[in-house]
Chain A
Amino acid sequence: MYSEKVMDHFMNPRNQGEITDADGVGEVGNPTCGDIMRIFLTIRDNIVTDVKFQTFGCGAAVASSSMATELIKGKTLEEAWEVSNKAVAEALEGLPPIKMHCSVLAEEGIHKAINDYRIKHGLEPWEEKNPHSHDHHGHEDETCSS
């Protein structure tokens, strides 16, 4: 059900862990299925010089965290802010429709972490776009109990 890229990032997650003296931390929970993601950022001269994640969730959530952290590493805060869940899903060579909300978690986690940094530095937080308008397409009940 998952692409090779998703499986690669799930089996060998990049940037997994914690930054104890992080400059920005973002934690988001998934209202759809109850999962949690935490993003840690180290920021020097407006650049994401280090990033780590902790995730409690499915394969797609772990792979999205891993890919999202890869995509923002070395980027300016403005560039990192623009990394969308669609970009994460595309970089993973696609996610099953029912798993798109897991990549939203990564986008929101990054936004939260950047704003945490901005607030700590007396800067105006950027506007997070409607945090709970998750992609629910592919949400048909395909429950299979055996």
Chain B
Amino acid sequence: MTAERIVYMDHSATTATDPAVVDAMAPWFSKGYGNPSSLYSIARESKKAVEVARNQVAAALGAKPDEIYFTSGGTEADNWAIKGVVSANHKKGNHIITCAIEHHAVLHTCEYLEKQGFSVTYLPVDETGQVRISDLKAAITDQTILVTIMFANNEIGTIEPIAEIGKVCRERGVYFHTDAVQAIGNVTIDVEAMNIDLLSLSAHKFYGPKGIGALYIRKGVRIDNLLHGGGQERRKRAGTENIPGIVGLGLAIERAIARMEEQNKRVSALRDRLLKEILKTIPNTRLNGHPTERLPGNINVSFDFIEGESMLLLLDHFGICASTGSACTSGSLEPSHVLLAIGLPAETAHGSLRLTLGAENTEDDVTYVLEQLNKVVIRLREMSPLYADHKKRSCNV
């Protein structure tokens, strides 16, 4: 059955494409379809559109347009940054530093490179999810060629101390890549001031289309190609450009930056109210992640005695879209590596719920989610043997 009302609180998974972005993309399918590599006039129009978008992305990052390369999304940008840098610099060293809570696009790439003979340090994080600068400093050796630490985490929303990490890397002469897929439009980014050498982004996380992203590569960084073929993207990224996608990415990032301050204020106020009420009205609940250094729309909480997948199924029944770090939903039947890395026991990870708010959420949505979530938690607790034991324990004291 379908619920009458849909409340989407899974913006870290993806976002709906902004109608203005869809409108801007539309003509590039049927009218401006020319291949930018061709000579005739409609091709020149496509080429111009790509360059406009490149300028929009560069402006959002404090970069120069010729430091922006379009990719098929965040995953490709991460793979290219890491594989490309280690491949071009392996004579200098074979050591990569990353952290325990990266997205799988980074973690699995690093694990693959380990199999190829590179050595990888997975820095631990503290209980809020932040990398410690002292750990980073201690891990850098004369073999280190790349540090890759995410800007903000997709599960718990924790924002990493990127400027400090960039400074350390610059001082030690090590390339610094950051996966900023979750950060764009939520956090101010300046690749110059933050000493970032490479940065990944993906349009569908900030109200742009899916399947398009970009990699910022600071001028002078030694990097090999990931994709070989035609001479597109100044011979660095082969493949006919996804013109509608690139146009959509450009406009989406421009709009995301323009409304960032106002939207963050609004979304974080909604988030704060929802979080406060959850913690107040549902006992045996904890917040996962950082109390303040977190993405404006992110809530990650754990409810004792219940399991996340059954929570999602019931929430879905009431039209609420959310996600969990429970083992039961992971496909590998392992709890979220992020929640384990911040020190949660497997049971607590099991009962975790991620609600990520965004542009279209309202006060009404918050009220509705609170009401339904309370019911869902009570219903599942009534079913839980762990809760039954807990109730008996508290009666006996």
Contacts and interface: CB of A to CB of B under 8 A. Distances in A.
Nearest to B103: A145
- Minimum-distance CB pairs A-B, first 3: A58-B328, A142-B331, A54-B385
Interface string B94-129: 000000000110000000000000000000000000
A56 B154 contact: no
A38 B12 CA distance: 36
Looking at B334, B383, B386, which has the most chain A CB atoms within 10 Å of its CB? B383
B385 A141 contact: no
Given A141-B331, A143-B332, A56 B13 contact: no
B327 A33 contact: yes
Contacts of B14: 146
A122 interface: no
Nearest to A99: B328
B306 interface: yes
Contacts of A16: 382-383
B332 A145 contact: no
Contacts of B155: 145
B388 A98 contact: no
B330 interface: yes
A94 interface: no
Interface of B: 12-14, 103-104, 154-155, 305-307, 309-310, 313-314, 317, 323, 326-336, 346-347, 350, 382-386, 388
A44 B44 CA distance: 86
A57 B331 contact: no
B13 A55 contact: no
Interface in A56-87: 56-59, 61-62
Given A59-B313, A141-B331, A18 B383 contact: no
Contacts of B347: 34
Contact of A58 (B12, B309, B334, B386): B309
23 contacts: A2-B313, A10-B313, A11-B314, A13-B383, A27-B385, A35-B328, A38-B388, A55-B384, A55-B385, A56-B306, A56-B307, A58-B326, A58-B328, A59-B309, A98-B333, A139-B333, A142-B331, A143-B330, A143-B332, A143-B334, A145-B103, A145-B336, A146-B14
Given A141-B331, A142-B331, A144-B331, A62 B385 contact: no
A91 interface: no
Given A57-B310, A143-B330, 6 more contacts: A55-B384, A56-B306, A56-B384, A56-B385, A58-B326, A146-B13
Nearest to A101: B333
Contact of B383 (A2, A58, A62, A146): A62
Contacts of A144: 331
A10 B383 CA distance: 11
A95 interface: no
A51 interface: no
A56 B386 contact: yes
